[in-house]
Amino acid sequence: MTTRTTTRATALAATGLLLAACGSSGSGSGQAGAPSFEGRGPITYVAGKDTTGTVQPMLDRWNKAHPKEKVTFIQLPTDADAQRQQMIQNAETKSDAYTVLSLDVVWTSEFAAHQWIDKLPEKRFPMSKMLKPVVETSRYRGGLYAVPSSSDGGMLYYRTDLLKKAGVAQPPTTWGEMTGACAKVKRLPEAKGMSCYAGQFQKYEGLTVNFAEAVHSAGGRVTDANGRPDVDTPEAKKGLDFLVDSFEDRTIPKEAITYQEEDGRQAFQSGKLLFLRNWPYMYSLAEKSGVKGKFGVAPLPGLNGPGSSSLGGHNMAVSSSARNKATALDFIEFMTSEENTATFLRDASLAPPYAALYDDKALIEQYPYLPVLKESVLRAVPRPRVVPYGDVTSAVQQETYAALTGEKSSAQALRDLQKALRKAVAR
Ligand code: GLC
């Protein structure tokens, strides 16, 4: 190792930028002493807008059983970045308005390092029954700072009826097969005006997810095993080029540059898209829409074979400036129990953190793709687990967006991204 790399590695370690999974012990949690979880009474639960309509009914059950410890649901915007901003604002003013936070899996390190959330008593929660990569997202330097409530893996939604009609027997496993299938379907009169593919390409967290998936699905990576940026590579370029070229040749419709998850779902449900990358939550909503019975889900395609998903999901944490933390812990236990995450799976197709639910016969009957989803979650690539995650994701969003809109070549965007990521992790 040169002196320069040694110095940089030390700097990375000092700022907590190396992957949390590097095996450090729980001692350096950044939290002075163990927090005490005292106080009972009303609390709030803060999460992104519930597009599934299943959260309030679950809170009603809790409230009925705990009339003196009622929980009020505070819904933030659907956009992950806007949620993060509002939660940080609450934390920085040390407000007690937010009690239990539904944190995106990528925010754990940042919130734990700033002591915006409390380290949790691990023994209270059945972590060994949960999928390992999912549990890892709730740890920071070995300590448990949140409890997984749902996981997430990207999947390819596709129109079974149209593929069948066009004589395509199987969903595609590569990007080439996908565009090939589109060309065949587009010859059908009922496919008039349809577009081939979309994902989430607006400048927000969803773009980081889709960029990382494209890069990983082409054999590249965003950071190396030690968390150091490694994105200026031919493999990463192939991934980004798939997105850039698809916008250019209209495989992806122009308007998808404004899509978040819900926009793509609406487009798919109204018959505008043949293929869509989205999370599991969409399944049960699409089943209640005009495409009911006409769609299936498959693993994401990649350059030379199946692609890989970004690991998504949400974990529940206790805001360190909150009151009634004893109630907060009980509430987290309730919301993340195997029984209640099974209810969220049954009613809203949310990916559960518990391993056993993916092998449950009745659930597989309802959601035949559960084994595929389990594999997708187990093989999913985590986004960088770094304290300055906000800087990292905004650099990814900025450079990817510039490439997708033709403002920069993909090569230039990746060069600039590598520089920006280096700077972000060196701070
Ligand atoms: C989903 C995922 C989350 C991801 C977000 C991006 O909510 O669970 O991890 O960051 O989508 O839009």
Rounded distance from Cα 313 to ligand 1 centre (Å): 6
CB distance 205 to ligand 1 below 6 Å: yes
pLDDT of residue 28: 34
279 lines ligand 1 (CB under 6 A): yes
| Distance (Å) from CA 2 to ligand 1 centroid | 38
The best mutation among 279, 282, 392 to test binding of ligand 1, ranked by most ligand atoms within 8 Å of the C-beta, falls on 279
Tell me which amino acid residue 171 is: P
Ligand 1 atom nearest to 313, measured from its CA: 8
* pLDDT at residue 33, as a whole number: 61
Greatest distance between any 2 Cα atoms in the chain: 67
CATH fold group of domain 9-153+312-379: D-Maltodextrin-Binding Protein; domain 2 (3.40.190)
81 in ligand 1 pocket by Cβ < 6 Å?
no
Same CATH topology for 9-153+312-379 and 155-310+386-425: the answer is yes
Ligand 1 center to 1 CA (angstroms): 37
Q: Ligand 1 centre and the CA of 416: distance in Å?
A: 25
Per-residue confidence (pLDDT) for residue 227, from 0 to 100: 85
Helix axes of 389-404 and 205-216: crossing angle, nearest 10 degrees: 70
Q: How far is CA 180 from CA 167, 174, 189, in A?
A: 12, 10, 17
Q: What is the DSSP string of 24-52?
A: --GGG-S-SSPPP----S-EEEEEE--SS
CA 355 vs. chain centroid, Å, equals 18
Contact (CB, 8 A) for 231 and 238? no
Domain spanning 155-310+386-425, CATH class: alpha beta
Helical segments of 41-100, H only? 55-65, 80-92
pLDDT of residue 285: 97
Question: Closest Cα to atom 2, ligand 1: which residue?
Answer: 312
Give the tens place of pLDDT for each residue, 90-143: 999 999 999 999 999 999 999 999 999 999 999 999 999 999 999 999 999 999
In tens digits, what is the pLDDT along the chain, a chain of 427 residues?
A: 333 333 343 333 333 343 433 333 333 334 456 788 999 999 999 999 999 999 999 999 999 999 999 999 999 999 999 999 999 999 999 999 999 999 999 999 999 999 999 999 999 999 999 999 999 999 999 999 999 999 999 999 999 999 999 999 999 999 999 999 999 999 999 999 999 999 999 999 999 999 999 999 999 999 998 889 999 999 999 999 999 999 999 999 999 999 999 999 999 999 999 999 999 999 999 999 999 999 999 999 999 999 999 999 999 999 999 999 999 999 999 999 999 999 999 999 999 999 999 999 999 999 999 998 999 999 999 999 999 999 999 999 999 999 999 999 999 999 999 999 999 988 7
Q: Tell whether ligand 1 has an atom less than 6 A from the beta carbon of residue 116.
A: no
Give CA angle at 18 (16, 24), nearest 5°: 75
Dist. CA 187 → ligand 1 center (Å): 35
Instruction: Give the residue extent of every domain in the chain.
Output: 9-153+312-379, 155-310+386-425
- Helix (H/G/I), strand (E/B), else coil: 158: strand
Ligand 1 binding pocket includes 104 (Cβ within 6 Å): yes
Which of 58, 418, 50 has the alpha carbon at shortest distance from 220?
A: 418
The DSSP bridge partners found for residue 101 are 46, 317
- Determine whether the shortest distance from the Cβ of 107 to ligand 1 is under 6 A: no
Q: Identify the residue whose C-alpha is closest to ligand 1 atom 4.
A: 312
Report how far residue 166's alpha carbon sits from residue 188's, in angstroms, rounded to the nearest whole number. Answer: 7
8-state DSSP, 408:
S
Segment holding 139, helix H or strand E: strand 139-140
- Rounded to whole angstroms, what are the CA distances from 91 to 29, 85, 315? 18, 10, 17
pLDDT digits (tens, 9 = 90+) for 165-180: 999 999 999 999 999 9
Which residues have CB under 8 Å from 181's CB, separation 6+? 163, 166, 168, 172, 274
Alpha carbons 163 and 188: distance in angstroms, whole number: 10
Distance CA(414)–CA(334), nearest Å, equals: 44
Q: Are 58 and 340 in contact (CB under 8 A)?
A: yes
pTM for the predicted model, two decimal places: 0.92
The answer to whether 49 touches 86, Cβ cutoff 8 Å, is no
- Identify the residue whose C-alpha is closest to ligand 1 atom 3: 312
* Confidence (pLDDT) at 24: 33
Collect all residues with Cβ–Cβ distance below 8 Å to 236 and sequence separation of at least 6. 215, 218, 220, 221, 222, 414
Cβ atoms of 54 and 347 closer than 8 Å = yes
What pairing do the DSSP bridges indicate for beta strands 295-298 and 311-318? unpaired
- Cβ burial of 327 (10 Å; 0-12, 13-18, 19+) is buried
